[in-house]
Amino acid sequence: MDPVLVVGAGPVGLAAAAFLAHAGTPVRIIDANAAPTTLSKALVLWRHSLLTLAPLIPPSYWHSIASPVQGACFADKGALFAQLGFHHAPPSGATQRPSSATASSVGAAAAGKDGQATAAASAQQQCGSVHALPAGMLVVQADVETALVALLQDRYGIEVQRNTSLTAFTVADDSSSVLCTVTDTSSSSTATTNQQQQPQELRASYLVGCDGGRSAVRKLLGVEFAGTTLDQRWLLGDFKYEVDAAINAAHKPQHKCEGSLQPGTLFMNPTDVGLMGLIPLGNRDGQLRVVWNADAHCPGEPTIEDFQQLLTAHTRQQIRLTEPVWLSEFKINERQVQSYVHHNGRVLLAGDAAHIHSPAGGLGMNTGLQDAANLAWKLSLVAAGEAAAGSKLMDTYQEERHPVGAHVIRMSGRLLRANALRSPFVRFVRKWVLRALVAVPSLAAKMVSALTGDEICYSRCTLAAAAAAAAAGGAAVRTRQPATAAERQVWGCCKPGAAFPDVSIEVGGVEQSAAVLLLSKPGCLGTLVLMPVAQKQQQQQQADAAAEGGCTAGQQHAAWPSCWGHWPLNVVHVSSAAGSAAGGAESTAAAGAGGGAESTAAAGAAGGGADVAVDAWGLLVAAVAGRAGVGVLVRPDGIVAAVGGPDEVNGWLKKHVVSSSDAAACS
Ligand SMILES: Cc1cc2nc3c(=O)[nH]c(=O)nc-3n(C[C@H](O)[C@H](O)[C@H](O)COP(=O)(O)OP(=O)(O)OC[C@H]3O[C@@H](n4cnc5c(N)ncnc54)[C@H](O)[C@@H]3O)c2cc1C
């Protein structure tokens, strides 16, 4: 098979190539630039993106190189008037396992024993986190790209072909391939390179345009990038800085955020000369980003002096900018193509090539990374002839991701306009509205989740709709009701089309996000998470089996699938706290499943040996609405495909993936 050609080695192209390579799909990635940039437009990876990348990169990696986003401070003329906290779980390992007594009571709840007493006991326990991933990590774009380049090289043996620009392409008449023309863009003009600068032709099975806002692929397709360019002038400066009490000594900071920036905290400050945002760069210690809607207030090339004057005159910050790292100016576009899928799925667009918007909210790179993961597993299936819907599977990429792009454009536009208002009256109203909003926890949480991507859900889309109905009518037994506030919060959230819940689980004796379960070996596609079987349920299964002629529970469970088409599934067993407290003797839903490609993903992520993933706080079972013993089939982009018994899980696979068949069932 000709390789898939990914054009552009920005974050989106690199992620698309990595997800394709993970599935074993031949892929080639080119970029017009000679080297990756060390300058970073994007500064944050939000929670949904951490989960999306989890099959390839464990969340602990981001913790090792960056720190979580802590919150946002809103000021007016330098005076702080509201603060929004982005609550996050402590770093992995900092939270101890619940006491064994507590663990037993959680286990008893899972087993459906002594409901009321258990509920009372559970209510007192340490609840774990409904989000064990932080709201976001302050990882700069260059570091995301570095991680993905290393992954491509080290794990999949793929090098980015640099100095190579796509200049033309033609889709074959029978739509079976794409003939691409690329040009060497290296600047050297020796005889040898002159030779190389002749256009070359590459045959690709599919073409994926991840080549940014000025996308050549999009232009060559001739499609409109509909939208507007805002009539605003924005300046950007990344600086090294130091705190200097002599600056703004006349001001008396009323809050620590007013005087010196707090790690992980964004500082938004509308001024008479335009909105200004200050962001300490997470994993670039001692660096600060200043963005400023300067319009006519700073004509000409921006300098460090312009920014220093801005900080001194319009904030109470006691900050001395010592050295510019990057000075730039930019215009804001709000645009989106009508279709991400062209030529029956032969040519696809993702990331800034497909949608572009204001940086407010820090969503561009995040949205593009999610596009890449969504696109890649579907393309791997289509390219391998494993998609039951054939190339039409790519239409679900459009169906799922186009509305997310449109929503992000609307939301970041609103955020920008709300913050950039200059009229003193409107700023006064905005101040009080914002103050009221952040004071109401549910509204504050809503504001945070709009950024983190927690609201992204495809439950009404084609791939989820039937599975949702099957899950609702499935045979799984509900063994309990929610007992704690945390359980109530996540109750039933693990459903087809939603993101796999990143609730707290315990691996190797430490609290981790359930996202670690998704980390899979190269060559695996998708994850099957098998929930603990409640004791009552297990006894019932054994009794039923005995009545039906001696089939054991283990044999019954052999009906779980072990493959996603021709790819091995990453099968992960979760045990309940009761089982682990009893020395791991309790069975999981998969106990006895024969021949599966069971990975030690959780163990690997914990850095341990054969560690067991334990639903120590009962939150995973709560996420499947208390239905112990079910399996959760998770797509390679971290989205739940199906929840239920073997029938529901096999049903989804057989419906969408050609060579899926039931594993050996008890007969
Ligand atoms: C000031 C600013 C701040 C931002 N902050 C954030 C933030 O905090 N969080 C966030 O998520 N997003 C943020 N963004 C947006 C984010 O930077 C972009 O959404 C992201 O870079 C898009 O990634 P991409 O891979 O689609 O495109 P790019 O990063 O633009 O990469 C495209 C690549 O394609 C290559 N290329 C182009 N044409 C060709 C060709 N013909 N042939 C071969 N290669 C080609 C280019 O060399 C480039 O390497 C910000 C943007 C700006 C301007």
- Taking the C-alpha atoms of residue 451 and residue 412, their distance in angstroms, rounded to an integer, is 9
- For atom 20 of ligand 1, the residue with the nearest CA is 365
Cα of 289 vs centre of ligand 1, distance in Å, is 17
Cα of 224 vs centre of ligand 1, distance in Å, is 19
Question: How many Cα atoms occupy the beta-carbon half-sphere of 285 within 13 Å?
Answer: 1
Ligand 1 pocket residues where CB is under 6 Å: 7-13, 30-33, 41-44, 141, 165-166, 210-212, 216, 236, 330, 351-353, 359, 362-366, 368
**Between residues 92 and 306, which one has the greater pLDDT?**
306
- For atom 2 of ligand 1, the residue with the nearest CA is 41
Q: Which of 30, 31, 214 to mutate to test the pocket of ligand 1 (most atoms within 8 A of CB)?
A: 31
User: Hey, is 547 helix, strand or coil?
Assistant: helix
Q: What is the pLDDT at residue 477? A: 60
Render the burial of 44-61: b for 16+ CB within 10 Å, e for the rest: bbbbbbbbbbbbbbbbbb
Under a CB-based contact definition with an 8 Å cutoff, are residues 31 and 99 in contact?
no
Please give the DSSP secondary-structure letter assigned to residue 96: B
- For atom 6 of ligand 1, the residue with the nearest CA is 42
The pLDDT-based confidence of 175 (bands split at 50, 70, 90) is confident
Domains of the chain, first to last: 4-66+139-226+334-420 (3.50.50.60), 115-127+457-656 (3.40.30)
Tokens of 524: 């695996």
The pLDDT-based confidence of 610 (bands split at 50, 70, 90) is very low
Task: Kindly report the three-state secondary structure assignment for every residue of 48-103.
Answer: HHHHHHCCCCCHHHHHHHCCECCEEEEEECCEEEEEEECCCCCCCCCCECCCHHHH
Atom from ligand 1 closest to the CA of residue 40: 17
The pLDDT-based confidence of 480 (bands split at 50, 70, 90) is confident
Q: What is the pLDDT at residue 541? A: 65
How much is the average pLDDT of 140-145?
95
In angstroms, the Cα distances linking 162 to 11, 14, 29, 31, 368 are: 15, 13, 9, 5, 21
Residue reference for tokens 């999306």: 52
How much is the average pLDDT of 435-448?
89
The values of phi and psi at residue 518, to 5°, are -85, -15
Q: What is the pLDDT at residue 260? A: 83
pLDDT at 165 over 80: yes
- Compute the C-alpha angle 346/50/621, nearest 5°: 105
How much is the average pLDDT of 436-456?
91
The pLDDT-based confidence of 325 (bands split at 50, 70, 90) is very high
Measured in residues, the chain has a length of 667
Of 34, 100, 138, 24, the C-alpha closest to 581 is 100
The pLDDT-based confidence of 597 (bands split at 50, 70, 90) is very low
Q: What is the pLDDT at residue 404? A: 98
pLDDT at 309 over 70: yes
The pLDDT-based confidence of 660 (bands split at 50, 70, 90) is confident
> Helices 11-22 and 364-383 sit at what angle, rounded to 10 degrees?
30
Cα of 164 vs centre of ligand 1, distance in Å, is 17
pLDDT at 590 over 60: no
Of 400, 29, 405, 366, the C-alpha closest to 209 is 29
- Compute the C-alpha angle 266/269/273, nearest 5°: 140
Q: What is the pLDDT at residue 533? A: 84
Cα of 89 vs centre of ligand 1, distance in Å, is 30
Least confident residue range of 108-117, 156-165, 173-182, 605-614: 108-117
The pLDDT-based confidence of 116 (bands split at 50, 70, 90) is very low
Read off the pLDDT of residues 209-248 as tens digits, 9 standing for 90 and up.
Answer: 999 999 999 999 999 999 999 999 999 999 999 989 899 8
- For atom 49 of ligand 1, the residue with the nearest CA is 10
Average pLDDT, the chain: 84
Single-letter residue type at 117: A
How much is the average pLDDT of 408-435?
84
In angstroms, the Cα distances linking 5 to 186, 205, 207, 211, 309 are: 20, 7, 5, 12, 48
Cα of 354 vs centre of ligand 1, distance in Å, is 11
Of 185, 150, 183, the C-alpha closest to 168 is 183
Q: What is the pLDDT at residue 410? A: 96
Q: What is the pLDDT at residue 427? A: 80
Please give the DSSP secondary-structure letter assigned to residue 529: E
pLDDT at 71 over 80: yes
The dihedral region occupied by 363, where left means phi > 0, alpha psi between -120 and 50, and beta the remainder, is: alpha
The pLDDT-based confidence of 522 (bands split at 50, 70, 90) is very high
Cα of 351 vs centre of ligand 1, distance in Å, is 8
Least confident residue range of 204-208, 432-436, 595-599: 595-599
Cα of 657 vs centre of ligand 1, distance in Å, is 33
Q: What end-to-end distance do the CA atoms of the chain give, in Å?
A: 40
Q: What is the pLDDT at residue 630? A: 93
Cα of 635 vs centre of ligand 1, distance in Å, is 26
Read off the pLDDT of residues 242-284 as tens digits, 9 standing for 90 and up.
Answer: 989 899 888 888 888 888 888 889 998 888 888 899 999 876 6
Q: What is the pLDDT at residue 608? A: 34
User: Hey, is 364 helix, strand or coil?
Assistant: helix
The pLDDT-based confidence of 430 (bands split at 50, 70, 90) is confident
User: Hey, is 149 helix, strand or coil?
Assistant: helix
pLDDT at 48 over 60: yes
Alpha-helix runs per DSSP H in 461-552: 462-473, 485-490, 535-547
Alpha-helix runs per DSSP H in 567-656: 577-581, 601-606, 619-623, 646-656
Q: What is the pLDDT at residue 474? A: 54
Q: Which of 44, 355, 363, 365 to mutate to test the pocket of ligand 1 (most atoms within 8 A of CB)?
A: 365
Q: What is the pLDDT at residue 536? A: 67
* Strands, E assignment, 231-360: 234-243, 265-269, 276-280, 287-292, 319-330, 333-336, 341-342, 347-349, 355-356
- Taking the C-alpha atoms of residue 271 and residue 445, their distance in angstroms, rounded to an integer, is 27
- Taking the C-alpha atoms of residue 507 and residue 603, their distance in angstroms, rounded to an integer, is 7
Q: ipTM of this predicted complex?
A: 0.98
pLDDT at 182 over 90: yes
- For atom 42 of ligand 1, the residue with the nearest CA is 165
- Compute the C-alpha angle 528/532/538, nearest 5°: 120
Please give the DSSP secondary-structure letter assigned to residue 261: P
Cα of 163 vs centre of ligand 1, distance in Å, is 17
**Between residues 400 and 605, which one has the greater pLDDT?**
400
Q: Which residues contact 409 (CB under 8 A, 6 or more apart)?
A: 227, 334, 335, 336, 355, 357
Q: What is the pLDDT at residue 299? A: 85
Cα of 97 vs centre of ligand 1, distance in Å, is 41
Q: Which of 186, 278, 352 to mutate to test the pocket of ligand 1 (most atoms within 8 A of CB)?
A: 352
> Helices 441-452 and 424-439 sit at what angle, rounded to 10 degrees?
100
Atom from ligand 1 closest to the CA of residue 350: 26
In angstroms, the Cα distances linking 16 to 3, 203, 303 are: 13, 19, 37
Q: How many angstroms from the chain centroid is the CA of residue 466?
A: 24
Q: Which of 14, 43, 211 to mutate to test the pocket of ligand 1 (most atoms within 8 A of CB)?
A: 211
Of 529, 527, 507, the C-alpha closest to 616 is 507
pLDDT at 291 over 90: yes
Atom from ligand 1 closest to the CA of residue 31: 44
**Between residues 211 and 467, which one has the greater pLDDT?**
211
Q: Which residues contact 407 (CB under 8 A, 6 or more apart)?
A: none
Under a CB-based contact definition with an 8 Å cutoff, are residues 421 and 427 in contact?
yes
Q: What is the pLDDT at residue 441? A: 87
**Between residues 111 and 636, which one has the greater pLDDT?**
636
